[in-house]
Structure 1
Amino acid sequence: MYRIITNILNVILKMRGAFIIVNKENLPKEPGYIIACTHRGWVDVVALGAAILPEQIHFMAKKELFRNAFFSRFLTSINAFPVDRKNPGTSSIKIPVQLLKNGKNVGIFPSGTRTSEEAPLKRGAVTIAKMAKVPIVPAAYSGPTNLKELLTNKEIKIIFGDPLFFNYTNNNREEIDNNTKTLSEVFKSLEKSIN
């Protein structure tokens, strides 16, 4: 189901206007990595999934999106899994870590919110990367953020940065915070280059 939907969406995105993917060669050759992307609206989720085809992404999504039974089935069919952002428990970490250890790719939007304003990054992506011992591929999105903009010919662009292989030596919160700051700086650099 995932491949069918993402391939259809990929065709639609390319038909509506420019769909530019920059530095796709930065994606690791073997699956089992985190893609951490900037988040402006639901369109970036669709574009990111289409951008890494034929590879798949398992997306973390807020649990509120799974309340509707029909939409919940749809989200599950496209490899999304629920996360309680307000009260994150062990499953918030356990599920993505297990997916990564099984050679699956996990998509995370570290800002945890859809906004045009700069939002501070949460530590989840770095914490999960540490536990699963996998790299983080940073990505930035530029383009439509809603259906109205999507119906225009506004360019869609995704840029991938170099994979980040963080060292974990002190095994403490300060180390996680420092690595999260590094990821944040990489995001800023990618967003400058994409706009």
Structure 2
Amino acid sequence: MSLYKFAKTAVSAIVYPLYRIRVIGKNNIPENGPVIICSNHISNLDPPVVGITSPRDIYFMAKGELFEKPFLGKLLSGIQAFPVKRGMGDRNALRKGLKILENGNTLGLFPEGSRSKAGQLGKPLAGAGFFALRSNAVIVPCAIIGPYKVGGKLTVIYGEPMNMETYRQNKTSAKEAADAIMTEIRNLMENYNSQHSSLDN
């Protein structure tokens, strides 16, 4: 068993019951071909939660400082994370991400770039739009609806895939593409909240 599979099994056994995770729309993730899963970001636990709820193995970016620690760096590499220098255009990370997609794999991104501790959506960086426009990947929006509370309920929603071909043909900017992805994530959150607020009334 690979380190990734082992970690996914171990983390699932702990995190699923701890936060009573409910997954919606898992079948919206294509079984084959390049995919970018784009999620909101409310906790440091978001990457493992997306990782264990997705049926596909995911490659995540992680801040480069973490890879400077020998043990942690090897561990992160073993679970398919790769380093990115935050706050600057890291060409190596961009090339690595594109290569992952060229090989038909799944890339996990958090368009906001950093956590929103209040749980509100922030403005997206252009990175998600860059990967969406420069690859042939399908975009799957994802909404994590918390909070992370032991014994509470955490919901992970995977929306319908976005076909970015029109954006590519129209030479849409990376920022505009990122905004469109963020709109889909917002819609997932709002639709879920409106449905559950109506049930509560």
TM, length-normalised to structure 2? 0.86
1:193 aligns with 2:191: yes
1:20 aligns with 2:13: no
1:34–1:129 contact (8 Å) kept in structure 2: yes
RMSD of Structure 2 on Structure 1 (CA): 1.6
Identity in percent: 26
Listed one character per residue, the Cα deviations across residues 166-194 of structure 1 (whole Å, up to 9, x for unaligned) are: 121243xx533332221121111112234
How far residue 105 of structure 1 moved from its aligned partner, in angstroms, is 0.5
Listed one character per residue, the Cα deviations across residues 133-169 of structure 1 (whole Å, up to 9, x for unaligned) are: 1111110112344xxx4xx212121001111111212
The alignment partner of 1:97 has SS state of helix
Listed one character per residue, the Cα deviations across residues 109-153 of structure 1 (whole Å, up to 9, x for unaligned) are: 1100011343210111121122121111110112344xxx4xx21
The alignment partner of 2:9 has SS state of helix
How far residue 64 of structure 1 moved from its aligned partner, in angstroms, is 2.1
The number of residue pairs the alignment matches comes to 187
- The residue identity in structure 2 corresponding to 1:169 is Q
2:61–2:84 contact (8 Å) kept in structure 1: yes
How far residue 101 of structure 1 moved from its aligned partner, in angstroms, is 0.8
Distance 1:97 1:185 in 2: 23
1:57–1:79 contact (8 Å) kept in structure 2: yes
Residue 182 of structure 1 corresponds to 180
Distance 2:187 2:115 in 1: 19
The alignment partner of 1:82 has SS state of strand
Counterparts of 1:143-182 in structure 2, within 5 Å, are: 143-145=146-148, 149=149, 152-166=150-164, 167=166, 168-171=168-171, 174-182=172-180
Distance 2:43 2:11 in 1: 16
- The residue identity in structure 2 corresponding to 1:94 is R
Residue 12 of structure 2 corresponds to 10
Residue 59 of structure 2 corresponds to 58
Structure 1 gap segments, 5+ residues each: none
Distance 1:138 1:48 in 2: 11
How far residue 39 of structure 1 moved from its aligned partner, in angstroms, is 0.6
2:121–2:186 contact (8 Å) kept in structure 1: no
- The residue identity in structure 2 corresponding to 1:47 is V
Residue 104 of structure 2 corresponds to 103
The alignment partner of 1:163 has SS state of coil
- The residue identity in structure 1 corresponding to 2:186 is K
Greater shift, 2-11 or 177-186, is seen at 177-186
Residue 124 of structure 1 corresponds to 127
How far residue 17 of structure 1 moved from its aligned partner, in angstroms, is 4.5
The alignment partner of 2:65 has SS state of helix
Residue 141 of structure 2 corresponds to 138
Residue 76 of structure 1 corresponds to 77
Structure 2 gap segments, 5+ residues each: 194-201
Question: Aligned in 2, Cα 1:144/1:31: closer, same or farther, shift over 3 Å?
Answer: farther
2:111–2:182 contact (8 Å) kept in structure 1: no
